[in-house]
Each structure stands twice: as structure tokens, then as C-alpha cells.
Amino acid sequence: MPRPPIDPVAAFRAARDSAFVTPLPGTGILEAGGADATTFLQGQLSNDVAALDPGRSLWATYNTPKGRMLATLLLWRPTVGPAYRFALASDVAEAIRKRLAMYVLRSKVVLGAPPLAALGVGGPRAREAVGTVLGVDVAPLAVATFDAGEAIGLPDGRVLVAVARDRADALFERLAAHAAPADESAWRWLAIRAGVVDVRQATQEKHIAQTANWDVVGAVSFTKGCYPGQEIIARMHYLGVLKERAHPFHVEASLPEPNTRILLAGTDQGVGLVVDAVALPGGGTDLIAVVHTIALDQDLRLGSGDGPALRRLPLPYALPVSAPKRVKL
């Protein structure tokens, strides 16, 4: 049976006030198993995989040797089944799997793409909706197993559901009885408002983890061993001064492409780049961008110096206090 059309206004209202459910075609799922899976991932990802217990999850980034992000991951340890699963942007998933496979060598590690689909449940009553349908409680960063997959609680209150592909439609319908049907834009909007910077193909290698605030939301361990990009990330943490950070903004404009420039008003001086953006059903766009910190209180414009004005939105977490050097923009 075809699904009824999505009401965007109702979906975004549910994201703000109650709960919604959406398929997540933009999210892919990979898995890693084998006796050496923990050691292997510990040497590839930015977070402390070795400290992750079964039934728990964490954020992590996968970086180039120069510290630039290739992917952002939600990694979890199921209580049964393969050692690890992780969700990432679907348009980079296969390339990341192949890149990781290059480094397996003689390690006892099996990488694959399981037959799972991703659903997203968001809004202040997301946990309640998932609990009602699946009979599980999904606390932040916890993993709850049900008969067709796993539900993972995100720190910002969203719930990612990894479900057997042949049962995804039926589960969507069950969840839609307790949460407004939505499309992926509602999920991405909550990520933007939560200050979560997801890397997709268009934004690969544009930013390091700290400028996208991944150190603040807990995706980077500064006490674990080496991984690609660790030297750059650690040097910035201990010795450097961050000149850029990610912030959400609102703009009365149509949807900008990723990497659209943010400029000082009346100039051609770029001070930031858009990472992701979502058009709001009532008009205008919310976006998240990595911007020079000393430009944040200035008149910022989208796309050109005389483009539409940006209004900065609050982050739901505090950024570390720093005293950047005054540089001419």
C-alpha cells in the first residue's frame, strides 16, 4: 500500500512538539566483525572503541592523515550478532568500506553492509513512541535490541532504528501510528538544531573534527592511541587555537548547496562554509556552517557580500572558551 503524502508542516511541528518517524535513505549501515575488530577500529576511528561496552554507542569521525573528515559515524556494539555496526552517510558508505578494507591486511576482520534499513524517530516524545511500539527503552547512547534489529538513542534525543530491510515498511507503519510521518528533512533539521555536523560526500575533507564541534559532542578521544589524522587533531587540541567553529543559522532564502560561502556584508571576504541546510515549510532555511569565530558577531551574508543576512541560532551545548588571535579577515 502506498504511503500517504507527507504533510511538511505537521512533520516539523511534530519534530518540535511531539514525535515523527521517517525513512533515512541518506543513512547507510556497515558492520565489522572478527576477532580483531576492536583493535582494527581503535586504530582507524577518532574515539575510544576499545572502551565501548556491548549495548552502547558512540560518535566518531574517520579522517585523512591530514585530519580532514571523510565520514562521521554513529558506532554501536549490538548485544548479539557482529562486533560493531555503524551508521554514516549513504553516499560515502561504500567508499568508506573499501578504504577501511585496504587496511585490514592480515587482521581477522570482516567488513560488510548488512541488509538493514535505517529509520529515524525524532522530537521530544521520540523515546516514548519507540518504547510503545518496540517495548524497549532507548536512553541516550544506549542500544536496545528487538526482534528485527536495534534502536540506538542519540545524545540529542533522536532515535536511530536499524531494521531488517524486508521489515522496514511494516515497522514504519507501526511507528507512524504514534509519530507523525515525515521525510528526512525533519531528521536533518533536528541535527542542525542540535549542532551535529554530519559529513556527506559533498563535504568530505572540508573540515577537521574540532572545527565541526565533534570534540565537544564527544566524538574524539585525546587519550587513546594513534589513528589517521590523530597528530593534527591532537596538536590543535593541545597547542593550537581554533579559528573556526560550527554554528546553526537561519536565513530567509532558498536552500543553499553544501559549501556555499558565508561572507562579511559588503565584501568578498569569505568567513565560512555551509555544511548542511534544510528548507522550512513556513519559509526560510535553517543551516549549519563552519565559520571563523571572530566573525560570528558581524553582519554575515549567504552566497555573496550583498546576499541575504544570516541570523545565528543558539547551540545546545557550550563551546570551550578560547582567545583567538586577532587576524585580519
Residues 301-312 pLDDT 10s: 999 999 999 999
Specify whether 187 is located in the same domain as 263.
Answer: no
Look at residue 203 and tell me if it is in a domain. no
Residue 230: the pLDDT is 93
Specify whether 12 is located in the same domain as 157.
Answer: yes
Look at residue 159 and tell me if it is in a domain. yes
Specify whether 17 is located in the same domain as 137.
Answer: yes
Look at residue 207 and tell me if it is in a domain. no
The three state secondary structure string of the chain is CCCCCCCHHHHHHHHHHCCEEEECCCEEEEEEECCCHHHHHHCCECCCHHHCCCCEEEEEEEECCCCEEEEEEEEECCCCCCCEEEEEEHHHHHHHHHHHHHCCCCCCCEEECCCEEEEEEECCCHHHHHHHHHCCCCCECEEEEECCEEEEECCCCCEEEEEEHHHHHHHHHHHHCCCEECCHHHHHHHHHHCCCCCCCHHHCCCCECCCCCCCCCCCCCCCCCCCCCHHHHHHHHHCCCCCEEEEEEEECCCCCCCCCEEEECCCCCEEEEEEEEEECCCCCEEEEEEEEHHHCCCCEEECCCCCCEEEECCCCCCCCCCCCCCCCC
Look at residue 204 and tell me if it is in a domain. no
Specify whether 157 is located in the same domain as 25.
Answer: yes
Specify whether 253 is located in the same domain as 188.
Answer: no
- Give the domain extent around 261: 241-312
Specify whether 137 is located in the same domain as 261.
Answer: no
Per residue in 183-233, pLDDT (tens digit) is 999 999 999 999 999 999 999 999 999 999 999 999 999 999 899 999 999
**Residue 94: which CATH number?**
3.30.1360.120
pTM for the structure as a whole: 0.94
**Residue 291: which CATH number?**
2.40.30.110
Q: In the structure, what pLDDT confidence band is assigned to residue 327 with cuts at 50, 70 and 90?
A: very low
Q: In the structure, what pLDDT confidence band is assigned to residue 239 with cuts at 50, 70 and 90?
A: confident
Look at residue 318 and tell me if it is in a domain. no
Q: What total of structural domains would you count in the chain?
A: 2
